[in-house]
Structure 1
């Protein structure tokens, strides 16, 4: 099935579709399921994904300008190099679950991510600058090289996350949850040496 611009899809199953390097405009997806699809380097412009799920899909380097994601789940997907902040809208909260997914080199700059969850995610060099991550859970998530600057991390759960390092004084961290030994890295920004 080839996707058509300016179309509404409801309760559709998209399987083994290869639509890389394409441009799609004003498509509404509601309760749709995507399996083993390749949308790498594709542009989705002014599209909406509501109550959708993606499984074993490659969406690396997609562009999602003015798109909406509500109650959408990505499982075992590649989502490398995505500028998620391009889908930002006024008073918009991104509502996504990432499971066993790679989101390396992506940016969530200034986004409200309170309704997002990260489970068994590989998140190398992801940019969360000025994001609202209040109550977010980073279950078994690798945060190597990831940027947290001026973030709301209140009640965020890093207890099973690994390789995170950020300046506590540059973020709101009240009631955030950390565990040893990874939490020791948070002291490095204060110039503290631990032997």
Structure 2
């Protein structure tokens, strides 16, 4: 089917929920295919053309995507842990909620069109962040310029320290002096004081790891459950 298709620019092939295992697909044209919810085990995609291909919610295990073209592909919610993505072309790729822990990413080529691969918060300087605490108390944080900060493949960020500059209710009408963390009842945010993470994991792809978690906008923090 793939070898005989005549107009891959217009035709979208659907191969949802399939399993491919122990296959060498290197150098193939796999562009414009919907592989959503599929499972790839020990598959070699080296140098494949996978531009505009959809892999949403798929899982890659021990697979090789080295030097593949993934331009404007959708990798929403994809599990790529431990896979080889060295020197892949990722202009316009949507990495939202993708799992990249342990993946080989050396030389991966991304651009301003690539979604949720670069760090979401400012890399330098100080800025404000927001988080939701127990009893719907909203905390505004000043992340100092010397704080470590990172994000993974969502808008959630984390840092190693911050200063509490405001605590309000969700309507920002009532002010409070302190707020209790959802995760640790012993971690208290007190107005005007610095807070420090018990530890901070340097691997940015471990988005649920140690650190003070926050969002860049009040609205995003408000939506945290």
TM over 0.5: yes
2:107 to 86, 105, 108: 105
- The count of aligned residue pairs is 133
Deviations 1:80-121 (A, max 9, x none): 01232x134xxx6633111322111113333442xx7xxxxx
Any gaps of 5 or more consecutive residues in structure 1? 117-127, 139-151, 163-174, 178-195
Work out whether 1:161 is the aligned partner of 2:202. Answer: yes
Work out whether 1:95 is the aligned partner of 2:97. Answer: yes
Any gaps of 5 or more consecutive residues in structure 2? 123-149, 161-198, 204-211, 215-225
SS at match of 2:100: strand
Which has the greater radius of gyration? 2
CA-atom RMSD, angstroms? Answer: 3.4
Separation (CA, whole Å) in 1 of partners of 2:16 and 2:100: 22
SS at match of 1:16: strand
SS at match of 1:45: coil
Judged with a 3 Å threshold, the aligned counterparts in structure 2 of structure 1 residues 41 and 74 are, in CA distance, closer, same or farther, namely same
CA positional deviation for 1:66: 2.1
Partner of 1:187: none
TM-score between both structures, scaled by the size of structure 2: 0.49
Contact 2:92–2:115, Cα closer than 8 Å, also in 1: no
Structure with more helix by fraction: 1
2:87 to 78, 81, 97: 81
Separation (CA, whole Å) in 1 of partners of 2:35 and 2:56: 6
Judged with a 3 Å threshold, the aligned counterparts in structure 2 of structure 1 residues 156 and 10 are, in CA distance, closer, same or farther, namely farther
Contact 1:44–1:65, Cα closer than 8 Å, also in 2: yes
TM-score between both structures, scaled by the size of structure 1: 0.56
Structure with more strand by fraction: 2
